[in-house]
């Protein structure tokens, strides 16, 4: 298969989806978005969380927040199926489930005054649903924090240059915010200054790495091989508490605005590279097997397990929390939601397609990578970890374009593979503090019943520093351990995310199903949309719920026993989370059906 | 009962924290230029990595205290005075 064929098909699907499905059906016919309706950012302005933002700035924040490591790591893992099935799932899930889910969560929140999708569930399914949903969300966000905190710490420990640029990036973001909001510089001038500073910081970091102690993944923690990793877990925890408690205009908005440029730049480079290398053939097989051994060495069937592997690239429940948590409170105009919500998710799918699936397929067992010692003879990218597949694939693809222009392949490969790792790091850091902020919101909402009974206790428990600390402490506790996935004789030490990832992905996808069911109820009950238009939302939400339920049952049946054998403590932890997820989702499904039947009875 | 620091004191502390943070980060960055790296692969924590991390945190929170309230530009966009 030629690369150009993939390029044309993906672009055509996204353009049609945005203009026809997103704009004409969702925005104009179902939600009937209007520029004349005042948004919560204006109506409830408080200078901390409710702050109207420029739509491009907000797109940057939203895209950077939703595009964590998921759209990169998930498709990279799924390449074990070959390139066709992961690409098909990304495209289908993106257009018909993920982008719809993000857009409707955002708009439902806007119409309910900026409250989260969880609180909306109370209006539609009752008070019990709200508290079940809140516990579920809090639980999922702790798993999100643990998975991403672990990946970030692993990335910083093994890529010192990425640690340097990631730290230098924050003061640049703060300065950007101050120039923009305090000194009143125009957006263009601020963008130029920020871009120049980022380039300088990148050149500096390319040459100066940050080392936080020894790191050798082949050694055990007792032998000191993981000191840097565990130190970064703690440092990133402190960062998340600070960043999640600061006003959004101060760090979050400007940081994500610059992030968006970085992400756009890397995505743009990927798209241009895909176009320029269009006549090349994909080296990876289109299809390997319906059930290759992926999770814990167990045969992993594409259906139902794919939602446990590809999360954010296709659809993600975490997005509903961002869309109805931070983004809806910053939306200055209802019409902006199409670009920010629906467009943001399509962009994330494009990232999975062009920056992960195509590059890995191109670099599969490239001779140039063997020559510079990245791959051994006979080795394929499938023999590398998921993060390495992405970093190597991206570096190979963009590096190949520059080597065609006369630059040494080795130098350009190194430059762009570091850039790929940097982009991944930026995604992850944003997700860390956004998930902490959202978990804080969920924590505060969970205790709202206490306010009327004991104001002092309520103010202590829901204090933003206390709430952030509790969430980060729980997440860091899960992220801290290093586990042996090999044997005592031939150990294979890996960071905790290898255990946490499937639990996070499962909880996250189930959250997407529940959030989409809530949105479909909103469309049916409040917007009074009926017939085929209503079914467009409801059918995918129920189908997704059944798929993820089947996937989680499969996980408990097939994967849990393997974990139990290798690491009982972690296995019980992950097993409890998956089981808890299943029980709560069953209860929420019952409440959904009851609410829907009542609504239908009223409609008749 | 919530403890509330006087605005002026908060701003002064913010200014001091910011200046210390910038100084610490600058020290670490210059040290990195000289040594070719910040920190070390050994278990000990060197002054430059300590300065880099502490400075990073100080720079994160210092300006927030120093600059205080929401900027007028944002209030204006929201139609508030």
pLDDT at residue A268 tops 70 = yes
Taking residues A216-235, report their average pLDDT: 90
Computed over its alpha carbons, how large is the radius of gyration of chain A? 23
Taking residues A309-313, report their average pLDDT: 84
- Chain A interface, mutation test: which of B77, B79, B80, B81, most A Cβ atoms within 10 Å? B77
Beta-strand runs (E) in A298-350: none
Which of B29, B43, B60 has the CB atom closest to A242's CB atom? Answer: B60
Taking residues A152-172, report their average pLDDT: 90
What pLDDT is attached to residue A355?
85
pLDDT at residue A585 tops 50 = yes
* Domain with A352 in it: 3-603
Question: With contacts defined as CB-CB under 8 Å, which chain A residues touch B61?
Answer: 242, 246
Angle between helices A70-78 and A386-404 (to 10 degrees): 90
What pLDDT is attached to residue A387?
80
- Chain A, 29-68: which have a CB under 8 Å from a chain B CB? 41-42, 45, 47-48, 50-52
Contact A531, A602 (CB under 8 A): no
**Which one of A84-88, A139-143, A377-381 scores highest in mean pLDDT?**
A84-88
The secondary structure of residue A221, as a DSSP letter, is T
Q: Cβ atoms within 10 A of the Cβ of B14, count?
A: 18
Contact A318, A511 (CB under 8 A): yes
Contact A301, A550 (CB under 8 A): no
pLDDT at residue A395 tops 80 = yes
DSSP-based helix, strand, coil % in chain B, nearest 5: 70, 5, 25
For A555, residues 6+ apart whose C-beta sits below 8 A from its C-beta are A295, A305, A308, A502, A506, A578
pTM, 2 dp: 0.82
The mean predicted confidence, pLDDT, of chain A is 88
What pLDDT is attached to residue B1?
44
Contact A201, A169 (CB under 8 A): yes
A332/A40 Cα distance (integer angstroms): 8
Q: Is it true that the peptide bond before A119 is cis, omega within 30 degrees of 0? A: no
Taking residues A340-361, report their average pLDDT: 92
Contact A191, A204 (CB under 8 A): no
B72 confidence band (pLDDT: 50, 70, 90): low
The CATH number linked to A119 is 1.20.1740.10
The more confidently predicted of residues A400 and A179 is A400
Q: Please list the residues that pair with A430 across neighbouring strands.
A: none
Q: Which of A445, A443, A440, A346 is nearest to A102 (CA)?
A: A346
pLDDT at residue A65 tops 80 = no
CB contact under 8 A, B73 and A242: no
Q: Cβ atoms within 10 A of the Cβ of A465, count?
A: 12
Contact A205, A161 (CB under 8 A): yes
What pLDDT is attached to residue A37?
92
Q: Dihedral sign, CA of A543, A547, A550, A552?
A: negative
Question: With contacts defined as CB-CB under 8 Å, which chain B residues touch A186?
Answer: none
Contact A41, A329 (CB under 8 A): yes
Q: What is the ipTM of this complex?
A: 0.88
Number of domains in chain A: 1
Q: Please list the residues that pair with A495 across neighbouring strands.
A: A482
Which chain B residue has its CA at the smallest distance from A185's CA? Answer: B73
Digit-coded pLDDT (tens) for B11-58? 899 999 999 999 999 999 999 999 999 999 998 999 999 999 999 999
Which of A51, A227, A250 has the CB atom closest to B64's CB atom? Answer: A250
Does A185 contact B at CB distance below 8 Å?
no
What pLDDT is attached to residue B75?
56
pLDDT at residue A110 tops 90 = yes
pLDDT at residue A361 tops 50 = yes
- Chain B interface, mutation test: which of A207, A213, A221, A224, most B Cβ atoms within 10 Å? A213
């Amino acid at each position: 298969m030629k690369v150009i064929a993939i390029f044309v098909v993906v672009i055509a699907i996204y353009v049609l989806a945005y203009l026809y499905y997103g704009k004409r059906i969702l925005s104009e016919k179902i939600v009937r978005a209007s520029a004349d309706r005042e948004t919560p950012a204006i109506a409830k302005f408080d200078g901390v969380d409710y702050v109207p933002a420029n739509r491009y700035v907000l797109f940057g924040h939203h895209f950077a927040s939703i595009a964590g490591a998921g759209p990169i790591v998930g498709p990279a893992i799924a390449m074990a199926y070959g390139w066709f099935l992961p690409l098909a799932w990304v495209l289908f899930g993106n257009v018909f489930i993920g982008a719809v889910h993000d857009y409707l969560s955002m708009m439902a929140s806007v119409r309910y005054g900026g409250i989260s999708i969880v609180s909306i569930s109370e209006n539609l399914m009752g008070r019990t649903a709200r508290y079940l949903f809140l516990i579920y969300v809090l639980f999922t966000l702790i798993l999100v924090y643990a998975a991403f905190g672990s990946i970030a710490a692993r990335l910083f420990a093994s890529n010192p240059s990425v640690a340097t640029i990631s730290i230098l990036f924050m003061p640049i973001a703060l300065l950007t915010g101050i120039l923009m909001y305090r000194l009143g510089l125009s957006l263009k001038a601020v963008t130029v200054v920020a871009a120049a500073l980022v380039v300088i910081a990148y050149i500096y970091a390319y040459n100066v790495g940050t080392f936080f102690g020894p790191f050798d993944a082949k050694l055990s923690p007792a032998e000191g091989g993981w000191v840097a990793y565990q130190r970064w877990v703690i440092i990133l925890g402190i960062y998340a508490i600070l960043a999640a408690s600061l006003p959004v205009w101060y760090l979050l908005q400007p940081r994500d605005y610059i992030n968006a440029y970085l992400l756009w730049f890397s995505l743009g480079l990927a798209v241009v590279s895909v176009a320029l290398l269009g006549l090349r053939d994909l080296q990876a097989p289109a299809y390997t097997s319906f059930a290759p051994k992926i999770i814990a060495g167990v045969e992993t069937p594409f259906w139902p397990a794919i939602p446990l592997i590809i999360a954010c690239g296709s659809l993600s429940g975490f997005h509903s929390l961002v869309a109805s948590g931070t983004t809806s409170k910053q939306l200055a105009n209802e019409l902006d939601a199409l670009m920010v919500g629906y467009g943001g998710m399509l962009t994330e799918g494009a990232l999975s397609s062009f920056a992960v699936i195509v590059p890995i397929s191109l670099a599969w067992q490239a001779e140039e990578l063997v020559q510079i010692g990245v791959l051994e003879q006979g080795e394929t990218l499938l023999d590398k970890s998921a993060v390495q597949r992405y970093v190597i694939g991206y570096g190979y693809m963009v590096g190949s374009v520059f080597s065609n222009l006369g630059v040494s392949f080795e130098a350009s490969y190194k430059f762009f593979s570091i850039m790929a790792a940097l982009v991944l790091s930026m995604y992850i850091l944003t997700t860390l503090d956004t998930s902490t902020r959202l978990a804080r919101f969920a924590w505060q909402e969970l205790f709202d019943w206490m306010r009327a009974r004991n104001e002092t206790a309520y103010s202590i428990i829901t204090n933003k520093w206390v709430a952030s600390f509790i969430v980060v402490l729980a997440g860091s506790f899960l992220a801290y351990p290093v586990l042996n996935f090999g044997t005592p004789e031939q150990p294979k030490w890996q960071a905790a995310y290898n255990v946490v990832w499937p639990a996070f992905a499962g909880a996250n996808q189930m959250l997407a199903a529940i959030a989409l069911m809530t949105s479909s109820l909103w469309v049916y009950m409040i917007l009074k949309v009926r017939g085929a238009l209503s079914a467009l939302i409801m059918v995918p939400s129920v189908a997704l719920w059944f798929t993820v339920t089947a996937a989680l049952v499969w996980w408990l049946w097939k994967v849990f026993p393997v974990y139990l054998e290798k690491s009982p403590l972690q296995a019980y932890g992950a097993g409890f989370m998956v089981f808890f997820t299943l029980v709560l989702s069953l209860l929420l499904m019952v409440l959904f059906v009851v609410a829907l039947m009542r609504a239908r009875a009223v409609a008749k | 009962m919530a403890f509330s620091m006087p605005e002026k004191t908060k701003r002064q502390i913010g200014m001091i924290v910011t200046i210390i943070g910038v100084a610490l980060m600058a020290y670490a960055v210059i040290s990195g230029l000289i040594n070719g790296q910040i920190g070390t692969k050994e278990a000990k924590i060197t002054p430059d990595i300590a300065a880099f991390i502490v400075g990073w945190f100080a720079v994160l929170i210092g300006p927030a205290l120093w600059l205080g309230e929401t900027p007028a530009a944002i209030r204006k966009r929201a139609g508030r005075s």
